[in-house]
Amino acid sequence: MTAHPGPIVVLGDVFLDIDVDGHCDRYSQDDAPIVDVHAMRYRPGGAGLAARLAAADADEVVLIGGFAGDHAGQQLRALLEPYVEVIAVPLHGSTVCKQRVRANGLRAEDSGETVVIARCDSGDGKVAPGPVPTEVDTALARASGVLVSDYGRGMTSHPQIRGLLRTLAHRIPVVWDPHPLGSLPIPDTAIVTPNRSEALRLLDSASTIRDTGTLARLWSAHAVAVTLGADGAYLCGEEFPAGLRVRVPSECQAAGGADICGAGDRFAAAATVVLAEGESAEPAVRHAVVAAADFVCHGGASSLAEPEPVVVSAMSAADAVGWR
């Protein structure tokens, strides 16, 4: 990758993801699987994961996200700060944590295959109203490209942040990874990256993936790239009136049952970096399809998980005032 004149900025909702790994060879009386846990590993989720992935491609990445002052929020920062610059926007409530319980041994015929058997979510944090830190404006003014990673927790509905993004979209590429609970992308977004189910949910029941050009017009976006998992992506928009199917090269196809968690974040981060280098939507999407497929082949988001990070120092009383 070439050098960028400014950082890649990832802006959005940040979570703490936890992989709970174990073995299951018995069930309780109410038929619930009993998992003997042998490891718990932690990784950033949401915009945090997208920023961590962007850091593999860009020399400088800045993450702007909502952070609470609780232990989980401090864990998140400890996981992220070795790789990206973190600008914290105050969060009302607690850090959102998502635990995936994964186990092998569920079926006698399995040969050690690990599968996800449950996901347990906790935390109610949402971005606080009111002025955002001045560092947000400074970082966005320096950006060569912006990835908005929307997970419906308030970052993208904040009026000040939306105003800043509207100004940016006229001069640098803004990629928007949407969420059903999130906000509408701002006009002039370079690429919006819904997955197949998100795109079809926004269209009428008779629609197919070929009808998603409607979304580009609805959002006033230059392009929409619908991610299709192992089938690649479908690119549509003003430069692609007939739509363009971008397939995963055969040599990049993952094995069946591969962990796809985080593939959409990898796709959006890779596309943002390529756009920031001055390329157009088609080469950005082609590169992103390969990057996401390679990411899945190498273990997906779980490949980034670490043992519980050590929080070096507690938040000072002065710092804590802004989190109440």
**CA gap 119, 115 in Å, rounded:** 12
Alpha helices in the chain (DSSP H): 47-54, 71-80, 134-142, 159-168, 196-201, 213-219, 263-276, 281-297, 317-320
Q: In terms of residues, how long is the chain?
A: 324
Contact by Cβ (8 Å): 8, 60: yes
80-85 long-range Cβ contacts below 8 angstroms, 24+ apart: 80/44, 80/48, 80/51, 80/52, 83/51, 83/52, 83/55, 84/10, 84/51, 84/52, 84/54, 84/55, 85/7, 85/60, 85/61, 85/139
Angle ∠(206,209,213) on CA atoms, nearest 5:
100
Query: What tokens were used for 271?
Result: 């596309």
- Decide: helix, strand or coil at residue 93: coil
One of 59, 259, 265, 319 is an active-site residue; which one?
265
What six digits make up the tokens of 12?
């959005």
For residue 265, indicate whether it is catalytic.
yes
Q: Are 87 and 133 in contact (CB under 8 A)?
A: yes
315 beta partners: none
Give dist(CA 205, CA 322) in Å, integer: 46
Catalytic residues: 265
